Amino acid sequence: MNLPILNYSRIILVICTVTFTLLSCSKKSEPDAGEPAPTVPTSGSSVERNPPNSSYSPAFTGQTRISAVNTSTRIRTTVVTSALVAPWGIAVMPDGRFLINEKAGRMRIVNGSGTISEPIAGVPAVNANGQGGLLGICLDPDFSSNRMVYWSFSEPTTGGNRTSVAKGRLSSDERSLEAVTIIYRSTPAYNGVNHYGGRVVFDPSGNLFASTGERADNVTRAQAQSTSASIGKVIRINRDGQPVAGNPFTGQPGALPELYSIGHRNPQGLAIHPVTGELWQSEHGPRGGDELNRIQPGANYGWPTITYGLEYSGQPVLTGIQQRDGMSQPVYYWDPVVSPSGMTFYKGERVPEWRNNLFIGSLSGMHIVRLIIDNNRVTGEERLLAGESQRFRDITQGTDGALYAITDQGRLYKIDRE
């Protein structure tokens, strides 16, 4: 009579042992306490649910509409201030405050509690009509010792407006810019008021990249393909505005020596990859065809010869082709557009799953794009702050490791883990 009971006891013991082992293994597969779970893709669908404008096919899998991902870390979003007026560019000062350009031609300092300074004197006149104004801004890598600031703006000149780059020293009392010099002017000038490009960023060697738009109209956009014009380009200059020795078009007949890449439409985003040191760029397409490009020296990115967008009328651009020998493909494109503007790579430790991800302000899309990039390919996309109904113009990382974004409606956001 005792034998069956003993057998049942052994069976129950085995079941309990196996169950405990399985539970223990399951616990070991979870992240350690205090570490966020890694970003995981959702069902495999894209974040974009609207139909594309065109029937064009991507050149490779994953070039558009990549699988959506979700940040697993709990994120807190704070409005630092909503009292800015059409801010366009933001740069982080060594003490954690921000230098911010407002489109109308004002440069201000904003601290972490949202206090905004009076406009800093000494900024040259801008043409703020249309898409013009005081545009991108960056600090000299040696700002702590030389206090030099660099910025891009739409300059009214004889013959029309230009995308120009200036520099000046922020005074000790922070009320003015001293010894202001316009170090670069794009060519040719044009009387239009759109597509200035306008970002500036230093490369790891201390030279300056600047983006210029092709000025939008049919009479100028073809010059994005011309190496004798500097509109529709990425240029590389030194701190005095001179072409950098070794630029890729140096010595070519008729070519401007400051050119670094050509064939761009309206490039409003520039950022240096924190690992490779390479330049990445975003630009507006027409109706569809917004692009993310990994900029290679001397490369031609195709506009307006090749594009994944259509004319605003819905007709093809020129011959309606998307590929041509000798022209580089975008790493990623959007159709419909999101209107990508300023961007930054995340280098912080606050949200480990964001490390080396690219964050881009989206204007018409009214969100912040988050892209996971692996081996120079986009592997996941997320839309952040999509419920804020804001046109995100620029984004950067603060000294505290949080992200800070400005919007056309005048807000400065702080985005950080809880």
SS3 192: coil
Q: pLDDT tens for the chain, 418 residues: list them.
A: 333 333 433 433 333 333 333 333 333 333 333 333 455 454 579 999 999 999 999 999 999 999 999 999 999 999 999 999 999 999 999 999 999 999 999 999 999 999 999 999 999 999 999 999 999 999 999 999 999 999 999 999 999 999 999 999 999 999 999 999 999 999 999 999 999 999 999 999 999 999 999 999 999 999 999 999 999 999 999 999 999 999 999 999 999 999 999 999 999 999 999 999 999 999 999 999 999 999 999 999 999 999 999 999 999 999 999 999 999 999 999 999 999 999 999 999 999 999 999 999 999 999 999 999 999 999 999 999 999 999 999 999 999 999 999 999 999 999 999 9
Per-residue confidence (pLDDT) for residue 44, from 0 to 100: 74
Nearest to 364 by CA among 386, 397, 331: 386
Distances (CA, A) of 362 to 49, 265, 406, 413: 16, 17, 11, 14
Catalytic residue among 195, 264, 284, 367: 195
- Burial class for 175, CB neighbours closer than 10 Å (0-12, 13-18, 19+): middle
pLDDT score, position 39? 54
**CA angle centred on 205, ends 204 and 210, rounded to 5°:** 75
| 88 contacts 108 by C-beta, under 8 angstroms | no
Q: Is 264 a catalytic residue?
A: no
Q: Where are the domains of the chain?
A: 38-417
pLDDT score of 96: 98
**pLDDT for position 31:** 33
Best CA proximity match to 371, nearest among 65, 137, 78, 92? 65
| DSSP code, position 29 | T
Rounded CA gap, 393 and 282, in Å?
12
pLDDT for the residue 111:
98
pLDDT score recorded for residue 71? 98
* pTM assigned to the model: 0.90
pLDDT, residue 267, reads 98
> Kindly report the CA angle at 393 between 391 and 395, in degrees rounded to 5?
120
Task: Just give the CATH number of 38-417.
Answer: 2.120.10.30
Residue 145 CA to residue 240 CA, distance in Å, equals: 17
Tokens of 398: 């603060």
Residues in the chain: 418
Q: Assign 191 to helix, strand or coil.
A: coil
